[in-house]
Amino acid sequence: MADPPQRRIPSPQWLLVLPALALLAVILLVPLGRSLTYSVDAPAWTLDHYTALFTDGVTLTVLARTALTATIVTIVAVLLGYPYAYLMTRVGPRLRGLLMVIVLVPFWTSVMARNFAWIIILQRGGPVNSFFKLFGWDLVLYESVAGVTIAMSQVLLPFMVLPLFSALSGIDRRLLLAARGLGSHPITAFWKIYWPLSRGGVVAGLILVFTLSLGFYVTPALVGSPQQSLVAQLLGQRTTQLLDFPGASALGILVLVVSLALVSWANRFGGTISAIGVAASTPTNAPTKDRP
C-alpha cells in the first residue's frame, strides 16, 4: 500500500523575505492601487480620465515634449557613456578605479546641489551665457528645454555607464585579435564582433535612462520653466494646484504602463541579444577537411 504524499513544508529562509515584501506592499503597491482606483472611480466607474489624456491638447503637448526630451537624453547618454565605459575596460586597475570614482561621485553628491550648480552655469551671466556673448549671441539656457536636457544628461549619465561597463568588461578581446589576425579592419571587427556582444548592456542602459527620464522631477522643476513643463511637473501641478487627483492618477498610471512595457521589451530583447552573443562567441565543432 503506497504511502500518502507528504505535504511540502516551506523553507524557513522565505521568512527573511517577508519584511521586505510587507514594506514593498505598504510603500508601493498600496499607493499604486489607490491611484488606479482614483483614475477609474471619480465620481463613478469610467475611463474618461484616460480618454482625456489623448484628447487634451496641453497634455498631449507635455507628453510629446517629455518623450522627445527623454529620447535626446538617452541618445546623449549612450554617445558619451559608451566610449567612457570602453575606456574603463582598456586601462589599468588604478586608472580604472579613478574612472569608476568619477562615475560614482554624482551618487555621493546631493541632487539639489547638482541642480543648483546647473542653475548657476546656465543662467544669464553664467559661464555658458558669457561664453556665447563672446560671439555676439545672448544665449540663456536656464528655464528652457535645452537646459533641462543638458542637466538631465549629466545627472543620468552614470546609469548608462555602469551597465555598459558591466557588459563590455565581459567581452573576450581575443575575438578582436583573431579578427585582426584574419585580416579584418579594426572598424569592421568592432562592428561585427564587439558591438553585437555589447548590445545587451546598451539596451539595459537605454531602457534605464529612458524610463528614469520619463518621470524625472527635480531637474525639470528647478532648471526648467512651468511654460515648458514635463510629465512630472504636470503631475505635481494637477495634484497640488488643480487638485485633479483622478486626472493625475490616470497620467501616472499611463507613465507606469509605458515604463513596464519598455522594461518587459528590454528583458526579452536583451535575452535574445545575450543568446546571440553567446552563440557568436562560442566556437563551432563543425568538421573540417584534412589538410595534406
Phi/psi zone of residue 2: left (φ > 0), alpha (ψ -120 to 50 degrees), beta? Answer: beta
- What confidence score (pLDDT) does residue 243 get? 78
Is residue 213 in a domain? yes
- What confidence score (pLDDT) does residue 161 get? 92
Helical spans, DSSP H, in the chain: 18-24, 30-40, 48-53, 57-90, 93-108, 111-122, 127-133, 145-168, 174-181, 186-189, 195-214, 218-223, 231-240, 245-281
- What confidence score (pLDDT) does residue 219 get? 87
Grid coordinates belonging to 224: 526648467
Q: Return all residues near 84 (Cβ < 8 A) that are at least 6 apart.
A: 99, 103, 161
What CATH number did the domain enclosing 109 receive?
A: 1.10.3720.10
Residues 155/161, Cβ–Cβ less than 8 Å = no
**Residues 159, 153: Cα–Cα separation, whole Å:** 10
**Residues 219, 116: Cα–Cα separation, whole Å:** 9
* Bond preceding residue 43 cis, omega within 30 of 0: yes
235: phi then psi, degrees, rounded to nearest 5: -60, -45
Structural domain range at position 158: 48-278
Q: Return all residues near 226 (Cβ < 8 A) that are at least 6 apart.
A: 233, 237
What are the 10-residue block averages of pLDDT along the chain, 292 residues in total?
A: 58 78 84 81 74 82 89 93 92 90 86 87 87 85 88 91 90 81 81 86 89 87 84 84 81 85 76 48 41 38
Helical spans, DSSP H, in 91-144: 93-108, 111-122, 127-133
Is residue 115 in a domain? yes
Is residue 255 in a domain? yes
- What confidence score (pLDDT) does residue 6 get? 59
Residues 122/141, Cβ–Cβ less than 8 Å = yes
Is residue 152 in a domain? yes
Is residue 79 in a domain? yes
Positive or negative CA dihedral for 107, 110, 116, 120? negative
Is residue 26 in a domain? no
Tally of domains within the chain: 1
pTM: 0.79
**Cα 176 to Cα 91, 147, 193, 194, 275, distances in angstroms:** 17, 40, 7, 7, 19
Is residue 68 in a domain? yes
**Residues 35, 41: Cα–Cα separation, whole Å:** 10
Is residue 67 in a domain? yes
